[in-house]
A and B are shown apart, each in its own frame.
Chain A
Amino acid sequence: MNTLLNKKKEPIDKLAGASAGGRSLAAEAIRRMARSPVAIVGAVITALFVLLAIFAPLLAPKDPFARTMQDKVELGRGIIPGPMPGYPLGVDDFGRDFLSRLLVGAQQTLLVGVVATLIGVAIGMIIGVLAGAFGGWVDTVLMRFVDVLLSVPSLLLAISVAALFANPNQWTVIIAVSIVSVPIFARLLRGAMLAQRDADHVLAATSLGVKRHTVVLRHMLPNSVGPVIVQATLTLATSIIEAAALSFLGLGDPDPSRAEWGLMLGNAAQHFLDIRPELAYYPAIAIIIVALGFTLLGESMREALDPKNRR
C-alpha cells in the first residue's frame, strides 16, 4: 500500500519540481540535450572537428603543401606509392603527405561551411524579417522570389550559381552554397514572424505606442529566431556536403595546391581511383563524419527546443 502511494507521489513531485524550477528555455534545452546520447555524439564530433580545424597546422606531421616526396619516389601515370615510414596514409600524385593534407583540409571545410551558413542566415533573415513585418505586397514579392529559388533542386542551383563566375575562386563555392540556404531561412523566419504579429505581447507593445521598427526588432524578431538557430546547425552539414560537391565537380577554386576535402576527393576519383582508391575514401569518410556530427547536433537541438517534447 505504502509503495503504491509512493509511486503515485513521485510523478507529482516531479511535476511540482518542474514548475518551481523556473529555468530558462536555453538552460532547459541544454539539460535535456545532456541526457540524450545522440546529442552527445553530435557535440563530441563537432567539437573534435572544430578543435582539429583550429590546431591542424600544429597537428600535421609534414608540410601539407610541400612536394616532399616528388623526387624521392616514382610518381606518375598509374604509379602512386602507398603508405611508407613517416607517411601513414601515403602521398598524393604530387608527392605531398596525404595525412597532413587531410588534417589541414578540415580548416577549409569548416571555413566554407560556417561562412556560407552565416551569409545564408543573414540574407535569409533580412528577407524573412521584411516579409514577416510588412506583409502585403512586400511579403508576396519576396516569397515568390524565394519560391523560385526553392523550386530548383539545391545542388543544381548551387552549380548554376557557381557557373556564373568567370574566374572561380574560394568565394565561388561560399556564395553558391549560401544562396541555396537563403530560401529556407527566409521562409522559417517569415512564418515565425507572422505568428508573432498576432501575439498578445506585440499587441501590448503596440498599445504603448512603441515605434514600429522597435516592435519588429525588439519584440517580434527575438521571439522568432529559435527555429532559425536550429536550422543553421543543420544547414552547416548540408553546406559542407554541397561545398565538397562543388569542389569535386571542379567548380571551386582551381588552384590544385589547396587542401580541401571535396577537391582531394575529386582529384583522387578522377586520376587514381583504380590504383589507390583509399585516397578517395579518406576525404569521403571525413566529410561524412563531419556532416553526421552537425546533423546529429542540429536534430537533437531541434528536439530539445521543441515545446511539444517537454517532459
Chain B
Amino acid sequence: MALLEVRDLRVVFQRRGEQGFAAVDGVSFDVEPGQTVGLVGESGCGKSVTSLAIMRLLAKRGNKVSGSVSFEGSDLLKLSDREMRDRRGRDLGMVFQDPLSSLNPVIPIGLQITEVLERHRDMPRKKARIEATELLDKVGIPDPSRRLTEYPHQLSGGMRQRALIAIALACRPRLLIADEPTTALDVTIQAQILALLKDLVQDTGTALIMITHDLGVVAGLCDEVNVLYGGKIVERQERHSLFAEPRHPYTHGLLASIPRLDAGRGEKLVPIRGSVSDNIPWEDGCAFAPRCPNAVAACRESAPELVPERGGLLRCYNPVLPVVAAREGTR
C-alpha cells in the first residue's frame, strides 16, 4: 500500500445557481514512502488546487471535493476537522510559493517554529527552542540562535524559504507538499533550495509532492512526473523517459518551449499556441485539442482515456511519435 493514494479526486468550484467548474477532474496518483512525485502544468491546470484539496485547505464554501485521499490507509477527506488539524503539520507538511507572505510578519521566526513543536510534539518551550535552533542549522541558516529572534522582514528571500522548510519539516512529516517553492526566488537561490529539499527528503525518508510549472525543477528532483492539463492527468512517466520521449503533444510542447544551452544560434523557441482560455470542456473532447498541433478529428468528438504506455500513462489519440520526440528531444 502506498503512503498516499489519491483516487478520482474532483474539485468543483460552484456558485449558487451557476454551472460548476471542475478545477481538478478525476485525478488519481500514488506516492510511495521516500518517493518524489511531480505535478506539472501551466497556470490553471489544477495542480495547486489538488494540493490544497489533499491538505483540506480549500475554503469550506463554494466548492465540492469528491473522490478519496487515503493516507496510510485512512481517508483524509472523511476525517473530522479536529482530526485533520492534528494530522496537518505532524503527518503532512506544506511549503508555499511566496516565503515572505507565508511567514507571519509580526512574530519572530523562532516562535513560528516552536509553535509547531509545542503543538504536535508536546515539547516544553525551552526544549522547543533548542530543537528550533537545530532545525534552522539543518536547513543551512547561519547563526541560527540569533535568527530565531528575528522577524521575517529581516531575513533574505532564500533564508525565508529555508525557514519555511524548517517549519514544515519540524515534526518530521511523512509527506511534504511543496507548492512552487522556488518560483518567488532568483535562480541561484532556486538551485540551493532544490538541493536542500533533495537532501532533506533523502535523509529523512520523507515523501515529496513537488508542484511546479518549471520542468527544470522536475528534471532535478522528481522520480515520477504527472503532467496535468485542464484538471486531468494527461501523461505520467518516470522522469528520464518523460524528458527523453515525451509522448503527449502538451508535454512535448512544454519541453520544446524551454530554451536550451546546446541549441543552435538563431534557432527559435517553439511556443504552445493559444492559451488555457481556448480549452474545450472534457465532455466535448480533449481539452487541449484547440491548441494541439497533432489534433485529429477524434480529439473533438470524445475525451481520450488514460491508458498505460511504457510503464506510465497517456491520455491522447494521436501522441507524438517516439522517434520524432527522440530527435527533437536531443536536438
Chain A positions within 8 Å of B, measured between CB atoms, are 22, 24, 199-201, 203-212, 214, 218-219, 222-223
A23 to chain B, nearest CB (A): 9
- Chain A contacts for B119, CB-based, 8 A: 208-211, 214
A204 to chain B, nearest CB (A): 4
Is B103's beta carbon under 8 Å from chain A?
yes
- A209 near B105: Cβ-Cβ < 8 Å: no
A297 to chain B, nearest CB (A): 23
Given contacts A204-B164, A209-B120, A214-B115, A199 and B88 within 8 Å (CB-CB): no
Give the B interface residue count (CB, 8 A).
29
If over half of A's interface residues share one DSSP class (helix, strand or loop), that class is named, otherwise mixed; here it is: helix
- B85 near A211: Cβ-Cβ < 8 Å: yes
Task: Fill in one digit per residue for B154-182: 1 if any A CB lies within 8 Å of its CB, else 0.
Answer: 10000000001001100000000000000
B26 to chain A, nearest CB (A): 25
CA A208 – CA B104 in complex, angstroms?
Answer: 13
Of B88, B89, B94, B107, the residue contacting A222 (CB under 8 A) is B107
- Chain B contacts for A206, CB-based, 8 A: 57, 88
Of B55, B88, B107, the residue contacting A218 (CB under 8 A) is B107
**Contacts across chains A and B counted by CB atoms under 8 Å:** 71
The closest CB in chain A to the CB of B155 belongs to A22
Chain B positions within 8 Å of A, measured between CB atoms, are 55, 57, 85-90, 93-94, 96, 98, 101-107, 115-116, 119-120, 151, 153-154, 164, 167-168
- A219 near B90: Cβ-Cβ < 8 Å: no
- B85 near A209: Cβ-Cβ < 8 Å: yes
A185 to chain B, nearest CB (A): 19
- Chain A contacts for B107, CB-based, 8 A: 218-219, 222
A-B contact pairs, 21 of them (CB 8 A): A22-B153, A24-B151, A199-B101, A200-B101, A201-B103, A203-B102, A204-B94, A206-B57, A207-B55, A207-B57, A207-B96, A208-B89, A208-B93, A208-B115, A208-B119, A210-B115, A210-B116, A210-B119, A212-B85, A214-B115, A223-B105
A135 to chain B, nearest CB (A): 9
- Chain A contacts for B90, CB-based, 8 A: 209
- Chain A contacts for B55, CB-based, 8 A: 207
- Chain B contacts for A209, CB-based, 8 A: 85-90, 116, 119-120
